[in-house]
């Protein structure tokens, strides 16, 4: 048990390096997805009221147009056959199909109700016979008796095929059992397949919501995104009883703390929230100074335990965006992403064609002393120095190299008054501008995953400094004043950047390690980075300021990673649709000619999978899932027989017989009372 008195910690789960985005296939129907009209002319029609025909028609068109249902049906059929063998096709099929469930969930959200099975059941009871026929639900399926249970079982029956961590959801297991289940999941190759399928479903729903925006607005977006992880707290509470030693009934969730990387495993009791994190990538304007030509929509999504593998989840989220054919622009993240290992975040993101923009922070030692950290010199290549995300001449004056750190200590200290921080911000901009003449010049934009070719700032016709080691080029215009480099600042052992006549090629892993799309601390960086507040605004809009109220766990009570991910995906999709509708009611005047952004080349390699790859389920691990499925269906005796535990079989049979005798006694007593 935890030393903090919080019961057992979540055992560490195996880190999945990168899930393949091509888990399945779907055909998006662009015409069906224009649910607000080809040019947004039907946006003012309301979804709500009774059960609105508008809401029904929009939900049907959206789910059918998204193309996700056929793929989910294939997966569900495959899973049933592997789980039950020849008996997988036996038995009566559910009266409610995957398509019915998805349409009903979306109509429930359009109706501004929580996604609870009881509310979906109420919705079905309010449908007219014509609406039932349009959705395609069999007429006998809407009978009131047992309808809520049948809807719930229909939901459970298909979600098993994409559930990476199946287990009993209505009990709290012991710490030992929790550890055993986690160890089994870490050895299960099907976990990666299921996670990929969940990512595929969530991101295709988001893609469908983006396609509801007419192309005249959609095609203007140039690929800028802000990425952030936001909490989806779980309805099941984190266990706090140190005597029970049991896990939460939603054992897939984890503790969340607001500071740092949000990993709450070692946090104090008072600061914890139990839940999941959703990593969202939100559209940003092409320029901070542009009038909005499109709404800020969620373009990508992933879902995980708080603070666990957040960098890899951001990569998965971004990989899906690129796989769907969207352009790459600026990729903006907060200081938490700066701390991630470059192999897990920067390299794959830059290899996809993005220019990353991260905030840099000084480091604080245990004694409270501030040191430059990432705001100081971060090594270098080819004889140059790497600082504030770029490469600089090794003869750059030391005072200029230290000034960004000195100003950042004041500017980034939230405890200081604004009267001190604002002047420090201006000094930071001036300090970075003073560094610009010493920046090593980039000859051309590197290919994704390729080398960076740079030249000395004293070389060529665009020279900005004069150096004793490099004669002035004859191509430099007469009269151009160059900043002189003092001999005392020259390196003792000049590197290639000083000795090569033309240029130096820096390998991808070296130049991308601390790369910034814009020089950190420059005026353009501060303006562009300020757009990160758009993702914070979207999170607030999603969780508090819309009828979906995604931040309230009581409105999505299903337990388990898969169920919570699917519900979260629908909530984000509904928020996207609401933003599109609001935008189209009073849209800006579109430009006469819309030039579709060029989709940049993407580096195929170890950092990112870009080709479709089959991800079949492993038969070797299906036996474990059969046992879990038996237990979830109440067939404990069958599960015990599967694992050969005959003592457990005898105990369960005896307990079952005892329950039957008790029921028979109660039945006789009731009969005697009625007779008397």
SS3 track for 211-277: HCCCHHHHCCCCCCEEEEEEEEECCCCCCCCCCCCECCCCCCCEEECCCCCCECCCCCHHHCEEEEE
The answer to whether 356 touches 513, Cβ cutoff 8 Å, is: no
Per-residue pLDDT tens for 53-77?
899 999 999 999 999 999 999 899 8
Measured over the CA atoms of residue 373, residue 374, residue 376 and residue 379, the dihedral's sign is positive
In this predicted structure, what is the pLDDT of residue 213? 94
Q: What percent of the chain has pLDDT over 70?
A: 83
630 vs 578 pLDDT, higher one: 578
Give the residue, 280 or 173, on which the prediction is more confident. 280
The Cα 168–Cα 553 span in angstroms is 20
Structure tokens of 471?
């004669």
- Produce one character per residue of 441-475: b if its CB has 16 or more CB atoms within 10 Å, e if not: beeeebebbeebbbbbbbbbeebbbbbeebeeeee
| Distance from C-alpha of 423 to C-alpha of 430, rounded to nearest angstrom | 11
Burial class, 211, CB count within 10 angstroms (exposed 0-12 / middle 13-18 / buried 19+): buried
Residue 613 has pLDDT above 80, yes or no: no
Mean pLDDT (whole number) for 127-143: 92
d(CA 197, CA 665): 50
The answer to whether 332 touches 532, Cβ cutoff 8 Å, is yes
Contacts of 377 (CB under 8 A, 6+ apart): 385, 386, 387, 401
Q: Indicate the SS3 state at residue 307.
A: coil
C-alpha to C-alpha distance for 223 and 89, rounded to whole angstroms: 45
Contacts of 412 (CB under 8 A, 6+ apart): 361, 362
> Burial, 334: exposed, middle or buried (Cβ in 10 Å; 0-12, 13-18, 19+)?
middle
Beta bridge partner(s), residue 606: none
Mean pLDDT (the chain, rounded) = 82
User: Would you say how long the chain is, in residues?
Assistant: 676
Higher pLDDT pick, 306 / 374: 306
Residue 284 has pLDDT above 60, yes or no: yes
- Angstrom distance (rounded) from CA 566 to CA 568: 5
Q: Which residues, in sequence order, are CB contacts of 637 under 8 Å at separation 6+?
A: 649, 652, 653, 656
Are 307 and 261 a contacting pair, CB within 8 Å? yes
The angle subtended at Cα 593 by Cα 591 and Cα 599, nearest 5°, is 105
Contact at 8 Å (CB) between 76 and 82? no
β 385-387/390-392 pair status: antiparallel
What 3-state class would DSSP assign to 373?
helix
d(CA 369, CA 410) in angstroms, rounded, equals 13
- Residue for token digits 């054992």? 251
Residue 264 three-state SS: coil
Looking at the predicted structure, is the pLDDT value of residue 306 above 50? yes
Q: Which of 505, 509, 510, 527 is nearest to 518 (CA)?
A: 527
Nearest to 192 by CA among 558, 613, 643: 613
pLDDT tens for each residue of 91-107: 677 899 999 999 999 99
The residue written with tokens 């303006």 in the block is 527
For the stretch 655-661, contacts whose Cβ atoms lie closer than 8 Å and that sit 24 or more positions apart, written own/partner, are none
Phi, psi values for residue 298, rounded to 5°: -75, 120
Q: Which is nearest to 406 in space by CA: 425, 390, 391?
A: 425
Q: Which residues pair with 246 in a beta bridge?
A: 174
Return the minimum-mean-pLDDT range out of 105-114, 176-185, 215-224, 598-607. Answer: 598-607
Residues 297 and 575: their CA atoms lie apart, in Å, by: 8
In the prediction, which pLDDT does 185 show? 81
Average pLDDT score over residue span 237-259: 66
User: What's the N-to-C CA distance of the chain in angstroms?
Assistant: 56
Greater confidence, 387 or 372? Answer: 387
Q: From CA 372, how far away is CA 378, in angstroms rounded? A: 10
What span, in angstroms and rounded, lies between the C-alpha atoms of 401 and 404?
A: 7
Distance from C-alpha of 118 to C-alpha of 121, rounded to nearest angstrom: 5
State the pairing for strand pair 273-283/254-256.
antiparallel
The pLDDT of residue 663 is 72
Per-residue pLDDT at 47: 59
Q: How confident is the model at residue 199 (pLDDT cuts 50, 70, 90)?
A: very high
User: What are phi and psi for residue 227, nearest 5 degrees?
Assistant: -120, 135
Give the CA distances from residue 9 to residues 23, 219, 561, in Å, rounded to whole numbers and listed in that order: 32, 47, 17
230 and 601 Cβ atoms separated by less than 8 Å = no
CA distance 331 to 335: 13
| Alpha-carbon 187 to chain mean position | 24
Query: Counting Cβ atoms within 10 Å, is residue 154 exposed (0-12), middle (13-18) or buried (19+)?
Result: buried
**Residue 283: what are its φ and ψ, rounded to 5°?**
-60, 140
What's the pLDDT at 168?
A: 67
């Amino acid at each position: 048990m935890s030393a903090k008195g919080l019961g057992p910690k979540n055992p560490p789960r195996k880190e999945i390096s990168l899930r393949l985005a091509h888990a399945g296939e779907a055909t998006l129907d662009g015409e069906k997805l224009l649910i607000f009209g080809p040019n947004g002319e039907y946006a003012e029609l309301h979804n709500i009221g009774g059960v609105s025909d508008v809401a029904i028609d929009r939900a049907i068109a959206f789910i059918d147009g998204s193309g996700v249902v056929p793929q989910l049906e294939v997966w569900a059929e495959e899973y049933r056959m592997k789980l039950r063998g020849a008996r997988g096709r036996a038995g009566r099929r559910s009266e409610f199909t995957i398509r019915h469930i998805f349409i009903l969930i979306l109509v429930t959200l359009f109706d501004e109700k929580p996604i609870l099975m009881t509310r979906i059941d109420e919705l079905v009871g309010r449908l007219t016979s014509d609406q039932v026929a349009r959705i395609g639900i069999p007429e006998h399926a809407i009978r009131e008796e047992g309808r809520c249970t049948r809807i719930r079982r229909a939901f459970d029956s298909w979600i098993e095929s994409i559930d990476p961590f199946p287990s009993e959801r209505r009990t709290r297991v012991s710490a030992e059992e929790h550890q055993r289940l986690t160890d089994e999941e870490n050895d299960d190759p099907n976990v990666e397949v299921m996670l990929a399928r969940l990512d595929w479903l969530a991101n295709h729903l988001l893609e469908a919501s983006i396609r509801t925006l007419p192309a005249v607005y959609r095609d203007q977006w140039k690929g800028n995104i802000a990425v952030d992880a936001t909490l989806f707290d779980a309805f099941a509470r984190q266990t706090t009883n140190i005597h029970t030693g049991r896990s939460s009934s939603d054992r897939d969730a984890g503790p969340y703390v607001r500071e740092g990387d949000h990993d709450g495993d070692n946090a104090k009791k008072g600061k914890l929230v139990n839940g999941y994190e959703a990593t969202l990538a939100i559209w940003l304007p092409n320029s901070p100074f542009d009038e909005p030509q499109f709404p800020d929509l969620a373009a990508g999504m992933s879902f995980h335990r708080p603070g666990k593998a957040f960098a890899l989840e951001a990569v998965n989220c971004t990989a899906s965006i690129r796989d769907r054919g969207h352009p790459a622009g600026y990729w903006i993240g907060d200081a938490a992403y700066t701390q991630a290992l470059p192999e897990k975040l920067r390299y794959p993101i830059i290899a996809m064609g993005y220019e990353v923009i991260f905030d840099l922070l000084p480091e604080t030692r245990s004694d409270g002393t501030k040191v430059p950290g990432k705001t100081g010199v971060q090594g270098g290549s080819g004889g140059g120095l790497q600082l504030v995300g770029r490469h600089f001449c090794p003869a750059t004056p030391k005072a200029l190299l230290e000034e960004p750190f000195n100003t950042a200590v004041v500017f980034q200290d939230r405890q200081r008054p604004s009267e001190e921080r604002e002047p420090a911000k201006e000094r930071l901009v001036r300090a970075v501008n003073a560094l610009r003449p010493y920046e090593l010049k980039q000859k051309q934009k590197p290919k994704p995953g390729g080398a960076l070719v740079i030249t000395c700032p004293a070389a060529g016709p665009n020279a900005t400094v004069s150096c004793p080691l490099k004669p002035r080029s004859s191509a430099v215009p007469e009269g151009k004043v160059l900043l002189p480099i003092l001999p005392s600042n020259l390196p003792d052992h000049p590197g290639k950047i000083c000795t090569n006549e033309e240029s130096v090629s820096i390998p991808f892993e070296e130049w991308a390690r601390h790369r910034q799309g814009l020089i950190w601390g420059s005026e353009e960086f501060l303006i562009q980075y300020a757009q990160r507040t758009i993702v914070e605004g979207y999170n607030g809009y999603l969780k508090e300021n819309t009828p979906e109220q995604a931040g309230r766990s009581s409105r999505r009570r299903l337990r388990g990673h898969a169920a919570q991910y699917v519900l979260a995906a629908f909530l984000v999709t509904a928020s996207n649709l609401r933003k599109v509708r609001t935008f189209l009611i009073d849209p800006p005047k579109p430009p006469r000619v819309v030039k579709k952004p060029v989709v940049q080349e993407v580096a195929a390699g170890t950092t990112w999978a870009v080709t479709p790859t089959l991800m079949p389920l492993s038969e070797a691990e299906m036996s474990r899932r059969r046992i879990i499925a038996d237990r979830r269906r109440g067939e404990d005796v069958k599960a015990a027989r599967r694992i050969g535990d005959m003592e457990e079989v005898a105990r369960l049979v005896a307990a079952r017989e005892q329950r039957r005798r008790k029921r028979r006694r109660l039945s006789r007593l009731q009969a005697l009372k009625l007779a008397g």
